[in-house]
A and B are shown apart, each in its own frame.
Chain A
Amino acid sequence: EVQLVESGGGLVQPGGSLRLSCAASGFTFSSYEMNWVRQAPGKGLEWVSYISSSGSTIYYADSVKGRFTISRDNAKNSLYLQMNSLRAEDTAVYYCARAAYCGGDCSFFQHWGQGTLVTVSS
């Protein structure tokens, strides 16, 4: 059974840093591209970042570019999100999501973790 378990969320002051982790199990982690998606309280879903299976290709949403860094450790079956210079608007539940492909540019988020809450407040 595919499992994704996020951790590392919590309360942080504006300008602070936090590192989220996503522990994967039940599949060959090194074969799959991964993403972070967030959801502010009462709001919709926002894609945050993508990393290829090897870690060689990375993309970010404009809203986090230059502040967040996605990475992975395939030996530890883990995905990370280093968040720096945090702002109040970064307050959200952060989900890791495993991508699946159906050819060409066809991809979708087949499996999701339960999410971890990040609150940025003084």
Chain B
Amino acid sequence: DIQMTQSPSSLSASVGDRVTITCRASQSISSYLNWYQQKPGKAPKLLIYAASSLQSGVPSRFSGSGSGTDFTLTISSLQPEDFATYYCQQSYSTLGYTFGQGTKLEIK
């Protein structure tokens, strides 16, 4: 099974900050990496697919990069509505669409 490890597990930041979240795969997954945002009591929302493609309707302050085993999600200038938990997910192996453990982004 492919394991996905996110860092950090939690992060405190201020409105306007630039934030980067990292996701590492236990083996190469090419660019088959997605990012989701989840707010309390809500279903996850797709932000980025295929490592760097922005889902329609998602603000351009969100961006993704990486390939192989190392990936990043960057929020260029945090807005109040961005405080949430973020998950990466690999789609390389259909035997299990593994998620990372999540990164909780909190207000400093």
A113 touching B102 in the complex, CB below 8 Å, given contacts A45-B87, A50-B94, A105-B32: no
A-B contact count (CB 8 A): 69
What is the total number of residues of chain B having a CB less than 8 Å from a CB of chain A? 29
B contacts with A: majority SS:
loop
Chain A count of residues within 8 A CB distance of the other chain: 24
The residue that A105 contacts in the complex, of B55, B92, B96, with Cβ under 8 A, is B92
Q: Closest A-chain residue to B49, C-beta based?
A: A108
Please, how many angstroms separate the alpha-carbon atoms of A105 and B97 in the complex? 11
Decide yes or no whether B31 CB sits under 8 A from chain A: yes
How many Å from the CB of A5 to the closest CB on chain B?
A: 12
- Please pick, from A47, A102, A107, A115, the residue contacting B43 in the complex, using a CB distance under 8 A: A115
* Residues on B with beta carbons closer than 8 Å to the beta carbon of A62: 1, 96
- A106-B96 in contact (CB<8A): no
Give the CA-CA distance A95 to B57 in the complex, in Å. Answer: 22
User: In the complex, which residues of chain A have a beta carbon less than 8 angstroms from the beta carbon of B38?
Assistant: 45
Instruction: Name the CB-closest residue of B to A101.
Output: B91
Binding site for B on A (CB under 8 A): 35, 37, 44-47, 50, 59, 61-62, 95, 100, 102, 104-110, 112-115
22 A-B residue pairs with Cβ-Cβ distance under 8 Å, sorted by A, are A44-B99, A45-B87, A47-B96, A47-B98, A47-B99, A50-B94, A50-B97, A59-B95, A59-B96, A61-B96, A95-B44, A102-B49, A102-B53, A105-B32, A105-B92, A107-B32, A107-B97, A108-B89, A109-B34, A109-B36, A109-B44, A113-B43
